[in-house]
Structure 1
Amino acid sequence: MKNRSGQNTSDDSSIPQPKWTEEIDLQTIDTAGLVQHVTICLSDPSTALIALIDAHSRTEFSGTDYVDCLSQARRQLELDGRLLCCQGARPNVHLSGQLRQFTNGRQAYVRHPEPRSEGTETVDIFAPAPTGDVVTLNDQRAAIISSWNARHPGNQI
């Protein structure tokens, strides 16, 4: 098992184990289209710790907030050629500093191609997303930058 800093640890019963407050079943998809099931366990929001349980392995990720942990888990899966099928991996889902602070990184905004007159849509970054709707971290970043630049031509990123 890995500890909060990502280092391997021995099975020492004297080390306090995190209390998981929620378990979310998600899918991953690889480049060949193979779908596999994973479980994300969330700790209390104040500790920003998640565990990715995949077949016969378990990896814990800690960070400043949930989106930081999710990014680490996605990066690990991407090294294996897999994408995590969650709302936080969609190309049009982006963070706001204020929303990130208020929800500990659990909620993010959905950017639509056309400006909307109605309220701003938010999603739970851990909610399931269809396999065809998710992208890599780099592709997601590029999509958000492209969207910003299209809306604000005088303030290019």
Structure 2
Amino acid sequence: MNSGLGEGSTSDSSISPAIWIEEVGLRTVDPDGSLRPVVLRVGPSSDARIAVLDDGVLTEISGTDYLDYLDYLAQARRQLERDGRLLCCQGARPDVHPSGQLRQFSNGRQAYVRFPDLQGEPPEIVDIFAPAEPGDVVGLEDQRAAVIRAWDSRHPGSRT
């Protein structure tokens, strides 16, 4: 079954393996709880590209401007969400979000586990591509809403 990941889909053999430095085995979860394997291919940090290998189809996630890993992950997630699937990775958790400084430092590869903050403890840092449990992930809009709710609860009255 084709995942419908988009126009950039090609057979696995047509994209040079030299541009990929890492493969991360992940799963997607459907609304009914069905799990399907996918592989993220990750390019070097100087390029920050990713590709999704899903059901034998490799889709390179690309953009016209320079983007970081988090931007490309969001594009891949958006495409999977069109098929009703959530990507089970740390970067899809509602409590994971980078700071601007960490995003710049890691080229978008790392993010903080936010809220609830433990008093006096530094926040945990995770690799956004690391696997996450299916029950721990949400869609892009739900993740954005969680970040906004957390910000509003810590800074009441700051949004007008």
Q: C-alpha displacement at 1:17, in angstroms?
A: 6.1
| CA–CA separation in structure 1 for the residues paired with 2:58 and 2:10 | 12
| CA–CA separation in structure 2 for the residues paired with 1:10 and 1:57 | 5
Indicate the RMSD between aligned Cα atoms, in angstroms: 2.3
- Aligned letter for 1:83? L
Give the TM-score taking structure 1 as reference length.
0.87
1:83 — aligned with what? Answer: 86
Identity %: 59
| CA–CA separation in structure 1 for the residues paired with 2:101 and 2:62 | 21
Whether the 8 Å CA contact 1:48–1:62 is kept in 2: the answer is no
Whether the 8 Å CA contact 1:28–1:37 is kept in 2: the answer is yes
1:109 aligns with 2:112: yes
Count of residue pairs the alignment pairs up:
151
1:20 — aligned with what? Answer: 20
SS of corresponding position for 1:128: coil
Whether the 8 Å CA contact 2:99–2:112 is kept in 1: the answer is yes
Equivalent position to 2:149, from 127, 141, 146: 146
1:125 — aligned with what? Answer: 128
Whether the 8 Å CA contact 2:99–2:111 is kept in 1: the answer is yes
2:3 — aligned with what? Answer: none
| CA–CA separation in structure 2 for the residues paired with 1:97 and 1:124 | 15
Give the TM-score taking structure 2 as reference length.
0.86
Gaps of 5+ in 2: 1-6
Equivalent position to 2:69, from 54, 58, 66: 66
| CA–CA separation in structure 2 for the residues paired with 1:77 and 1:92 | 20
Whether the 8 Å CA contact 2:11–2:56 is kept in 1: the answer is no
1:3 — aligned with what? Answer: none
